[in-house]
């Protein structure tokens, strides 16, 4: 998989890909992440990529020309299955969407900034619009990092144990069950004895029951789905 991220402030995307699971995935060549500075695609002498909005109003708007140049250049070099725009009014990112996107080949992710992008970008270049929550950030870069993390960890070979992702929260619309590690007893707080029984079918039943119980208590809307 290759992910090309288009940003006005690429510095914000440096550290997320230089540590932990994402770095290991990139080093192992399981995924390639390229961050493009949108200012490299403008002909403006001041490297400006925004302008005032027609009709008046507060906030600057990302211009269509540099975005067109960047996306067109990338598409001339390879095929992309999705061109994603990170925006607060996009479709809410969930585990199902992450699962689907992890099966794709190449993705472009455009990070919104300022007041947003010229509407013609959304109409003629974007194939999918994604939000990470009902709130507004200073730009789409942090959202893009969240999206990439959610996708990349699902690529086969990225996690040490490939079944680990299958038991995460939101798989099968359930929250994850309680988990424990050593010591078995700490300050009188004991780990459930069943987990030491070696009876793995019963342990799985216990985990399923606890996952359902936790989901019903904390996120009953998931069960409705």
pLDDT band at 161 (very low <50, low <70, confident <90, very high): low
For residue 93, give the CATH number of its domain.
3.40.1280.10
C-alpha to C-alpha distance for 208 and 192, rounded to whole angstroms: 15
In a domain, residue 157? The reply is no
The arithmetic mean of pLDDT across residues 162-184, rounded, is 80
Percent of the chain with pLDDT over 90: 90
Please tell me the predicted confidence (pLDDT) of residue 225.
74
In a domain, residue 201? The reply is yes
In a domain, residue 159? The reply is no
Determine phi and psi for 108, rounding to 5 degrees. -110, 135
The arithmetic mean of pLDDT across residues 106-111, rounded, is 98
Domain co-membership, 128 together with 66: yes
Domain co-membership, 105 together with 199: no
The arithmetic mean of pLDDT across residues 115-134, rounded, is 97
Q: Check residue 2 and report its DSSP letter.
A: E
Percent of the chain with pLDDT over 70: 96
pTM above threshold 0.85: yes
Total structural domains in the chain?
A: 2
pLDDT in tens, 49-108: 999 999 999 999 999 999 999 999 999 999 999 999 999 999 999 999 999 999 999 999
Q: Contact, 1 vs 106, CB < 8 A?
A: yes
Phi-psi bin for 57: left (phi > 0), alpha (psi -120 to 50), beta?
left
Domain co-membership, 122 together with 188: no
| The last residue of a domain, from among 152, 177, 199 | 152
Mean pLDDT, the chain, as a whole number?
A: 94
| The last residue of a domain, from among 152, 186, 201 | 152
Instruction: Work out the end-to-end distance of the chain between its first and last CA atoms, rounded to an integer number of angstroms.
Output: 30
Query: 97 exposed, middle or buried (CB, 10 Å; 0-12, 13-18, 19+)?
Result: middle
Domain co-membership, 26 together with 58: yes
C-alpha to C-alpha distance for 15 and 11, rounded to whole angstroms: 8
pLDDT in tens, 199-218: 999 999 999 999 999 999 99
For residue 176, give the CATH number of its domain.
1.10.1270.20
For residue 135, is pLDDT > 60? yes
pLDDT band at 166 (very low <50, low <70, confident <90, very high): low
C-alpha to C-alpha distance for 72 and 194, rounded to whole angstroms: 58
The arithmetic mean of pLDDT across residues 107-130, rounded, is 97
| The last residue of a domain, from among 152, 179, 198 | 152
The domain in which residue 214 lies consists of 169-224
Please tell me the predicted confidence (pLDDT) of residue 172.
80
pLDDT band at 171 (very low <50, low <70, confident <90, very high): confident
Domain co-membership, 175 together with 218: yes
Domain co-membership, 122 together with 203: no
Domain co-membership, 36 together with 144: yes
Please tell me the predicted confidence (pLDDT) of residue 149.
97
In a domain, residue 40? The reply is yes
Strands (E), 17-167: 32-37, 50-52, 60-62, 82-92, 106-111, 128-131
């Amino acid at each position: 998989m290759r992910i090309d991220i288009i940003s006005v402030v690429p510095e914000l995307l440096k550290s997320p890909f230089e540590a932990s699971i994402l770095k290991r995935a990139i080093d192992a060549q399981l995924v390639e992440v390229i961050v493009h500075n949108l200012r490299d695609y403008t002909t403006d002498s001041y490297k400006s990529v925004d302008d005032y909005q027609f009709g008046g109003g507060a906030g600057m708007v990302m211009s269509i020309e540099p975005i067109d140049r960047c996306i067109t250049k990338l598409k001339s070099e390879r095929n992309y299955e999705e061109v994603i725009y990170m925006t607060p009014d996009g479709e809410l990112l969930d585990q199902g969407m992450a699962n689907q996107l992890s099966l794709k080949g190449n993705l472009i992710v455009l990070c919104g900034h300022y007041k947003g992008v010229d509407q013609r970008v959304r109409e003629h270049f974007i194939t999918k619009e994604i939000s990470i929550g009902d709130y507004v950030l200073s730009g789409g870069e942090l959202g893009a990092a969240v999206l990439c993390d959610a996708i990349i960890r699902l690529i086969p070979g990225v996690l040490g144990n490939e079944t680990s992702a299958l038991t995460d929260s939101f798989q099968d619309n359930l929250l994850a069950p309680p988990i424990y590690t050593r010591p078995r007893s700490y300050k009188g707080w004991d780990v459930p004895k069943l987990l030491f029984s070696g009876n793995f079918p019963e342990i799985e039943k216990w985990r399923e029951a606890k996952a359902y119980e936790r989901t019903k208590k904390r996120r009953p809307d998931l069960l409705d789905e």
